[in-house]
């Protein structure tokens, strides 16, 4: 939540994952499978690094 810059967010998530792996490697034993699709008509929707979806700027072209 500190930044909206995707590159900076990637660095922060990488740091968090490395710290968690070092302190609690068992935390990664369960993962969810996230399925998503793409369409040339759909823009502004993307999957966040935590697996949630962002639809803030979604647009469907006719």
pLDDT in tens, the chain (62 residues): 788 899 999 999 999 989 988 998 877 777 677 666 778 898 888 888 877 888 888 898 88
Report yes or no on 20 lying in a domain: yes
Strands (E), the chain: 42-43, 46-47, 53-54, 59-60
Domain that includes residue 29, residue range: 6-60
Report yes or no on 11 lying in a domain: yes
According to DSSP, the β-strands at 59-60 and 53-54 are unpaired
pLDDT at 51: 75
Instruction: Please enumerate in sequence order all residues whose Cβ is within 8 A of that of 17, keeping only pairs 6 or more positions apart, or say none.
Output: none
Report yes or no on 1 lying in a domain: no
How far, in Å, are 9, 24, 46, 60, 62 from residue 57 at the CA level? 19, 36, 9, 10, 16
Report yes or no on 49 lying in a domain: yes
Report yes or no on 23 lying in a domain: yes
Whether the Cβ atoms of residue 36 and residue 47 lie closer than 8 Å to each other: yes
- Total domains, the chain: 1
pLDDT at 18: 92
Report yes or no on 22 lying in a domain: yes
pLDDT at 7: 93
């Amino acid at each position: 939540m500190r930044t909206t810059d995707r590159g900076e967010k990637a660095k922060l998530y990488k740091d968090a994952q490395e710290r968690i792996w070092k302190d609690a490697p068992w935390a990664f034993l369960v993962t969810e499978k996230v399925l998503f699709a793409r369409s040339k008509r759909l823009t502004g929707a993307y999957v966040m690094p935590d697996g949630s979806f962002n639809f803030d700027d979604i647009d469907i072209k006719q």
